[in-house]
Amino acid sequence: MRSRGYRSRTAEQGAAALERVGLIVVAAMVVAGVVAGISGAQLQTAVGNAVCRILDQGSCPPKGSTATPLQRATWGEYVALGDSYASGEGAGDYDPDTDYDHGDEWDRDNWGDDERNRCHRSGNAYSNVIQREGTGITFEGGSTFAACSGATQDDLTDDNDSNDHENPQLDDLDDDVSLVTMSIGGNDLGFADVVKDCVINGESGIPMLDSCQDTHADRIDERLDTMHEELVDTYDEIQEQARNARVVIVGYPELFEQEPRDSVSNLLFAEDQEWMNEQAGELNDMLREAAREAGVEFIDPTEAFRGHGIGSDDPWINDLNWGGPGLSLVDPGSFHPNAQGHAAMAELVEDQIREPEYP
pTM of the predicted structure, to 2 decimals = 0.82
Domains of the chain: 2-54 (no CATH), 69-354 (3.40.50.1110)
Query: 3-state class of 17 per DSSP?
Result: helix
* Alpha-carbon span 211 to 10, nearest angstrom: 79
Q: Which of 24, 14, 77 is nearest to 50 (CA)?
A: 24
- The terminus-to-terminus CA distance of the chain in angstroms comes to 62
Q: Is the CB of residue 309 less than 8 Å from the CB of residue 254?
A: yes
156-167 tens-digit pLDDT: 999 999 999 999
106-139 tens-digit pLDDT: 666 666 668 999 999 999 999 999 999 889 999 9
259-318 tens-digit pLDDT: 999 998 888 999 999 999 999 999 999 999 999 999 999 999 999 999 999 999 999 999
Who has greater pLDDT, 324 or 65? 324
Average pLDDT of the chain is 85
183-233 tens-digit pLDDT: 999 999 999 999 999 999 888 888 878 899 999 999 999 999 999 999 999
Give Cα separations from 211 to 188, 205, 215 (angstroms). Answer: 21, 7, 6
Instruction: State percent of the chain over pLDDT 90.
Output: 70
- Strands 177-183 and 246-250, sheet pairing: parallel
Band (pLDDT 50/70/90 cuts) for residue 31 is: very low
Strand segments, DSSP code E, in the chain are 77-82, 100-101, 116-117, 143-145, 177-183, 246-250, 297-299
Q: Which of 137, 119, 115, 141 is nearest to 128 (CA)?
A: 137
Give me the pLDDT at residue 265, please.
85
Give me the pLDDT at residue 112, please.
64
86-109 tens-digit pLDDT: 999 999 999 999 999 887 766 666
Phi, psi dihedrals of residue 331, rounded to the nearest 5°? -65, 125
Cα dihedral 164, 167, 170, 174, rounded to 10, equals: -130
Band (pLDDT 50/70/90 cuts) for residue 332 is: very high
Within 8 A by CB and 6+ apart from 63, the residues are: 49, 53
Give Cα separations from 202 to 83, 161, 223, 254, 266 (angstroms). Answer: 26, 32, 21, 18, 12
- Reply yes or no on whether the pLDDT at 240 is more than 90: yes
Give Cα separations from 249 to 238, 294, 342, 347 (angstroms). Answer: 11, 11, 15, 14
* Alpha-carbon span 117 to 102, nearest angstrom: 9
What's the average model confidence in pLDDT over 228-246? 98
